[in-house]
Amino acid sequence: GMELLGGGERENSWGVMHIVAEVAHASENKGAGITIAILDTGIDYTHEDLDGNYRGGYDFVFDDDDPFDDNFESHGTHVAGIVAAEENGVGIVGVAPEAGLLAVKVLDGAGFGTEDWMIAGIEWAILNGADIINLSIQGPDRQGLRDACQTAYNAGVLLVAAGGSSLAGGGEVQFPAAYDSVIAVTATGPFDLPGYFAPVGEALELAAPGVDIFSTITGGGYASLSGSSQAA
C-alpha cells in the first residue's frame, strides 16, 4: 500500500473520528462477530486493510464466486473500508474494524445493476449469515426490490442504504433507501451541514459524514470520495 504522511490511521479517517467511534472502540465494541454484506461493485479482497476481514462473496454480474471490484472509482472497496478497514497500523480504520465483510457484487464496473441482481444479492446475503446489508445503490421503486428488502427485514437483517445524490442537491430520497424496511442515510461535511449533493425528505433516518471521505481503493491504495454511499 501507499505510505501516508502526517498522522495515523485514525487521523486519516475524519468521519470515523467525527462520529466518536473511538469511544465504542475503547470499550472493545469493534464489530467482532458481526457480518456485513456490501451490496455494491465488489471488493478488492486482497487489500491489506480489508483482507483479514473478508469472509467471501458472490458476483451476480458475471454469476461466479469472484466478487473482485472492477469499478472505475473502486466504489465497493471504498465503502467496505469505511465500514471495516482493519485496525492494523496502516491506511485508515473502519467504523467496525473487526467486523466480517461479505462482497456481494450486484453492480458492474460502470456502477449499473439490474433489479434481478440486487434481489439475488439480498437473498444471498440473508442465506450467508449477514447481520447487516449495506446498499449503496440508488434507483426507482421496484416491487421486487421492495419485497426483497422486506424479506430481509423480517429475517432480522439490518438494512442501511445511501439516501441518493443529485448534482444540485435537495433531491428526493431514492430507493431502496426510502423503503420503511431500510435505514436511509444522507451525507454531511465536517461542520455537520448537508453535502452539496445530499437528498432531503422524511424518509431519511440518519445523517453521517460523507464529504471527502478517505478510504480504500482497488490495488492497495487509498483515495477520497464523497457521497451518501460513504455516509451509509
What residues act catalytically?
Answer: 40, 75, 229
Alpha helices in the chain (DSSP H): 14-18, 21-26, 75-84, 115-127, 143-154, 228-231
| DSSP symbols for 134-198 | EE---B---HHHHHHHHHHHHTT-EEEEE----TTS-PPPPBTTTSTTEEEEEEE-TTSPBPTT-
- Cα–Cα dist 86/183, whole Å: 25
Give CA separation, 101 vs 33, 73, 203, 224, in Å. Answer: 11, 19, 27, 21
Polymer length in residues for the chain: 232
Q: Which amino acid is at 218?
A: T
Enter the C-alpha cell of residue 14.
475524519
Say if strands 213-217 and 221-225 run parallel, antiparallel, or are unpaired: antiparallel
Enter the C-alpha cell of residue 123.
437473498
Place of cell 471490484: 69
Query: SS3 of 105, please?
Result: strand
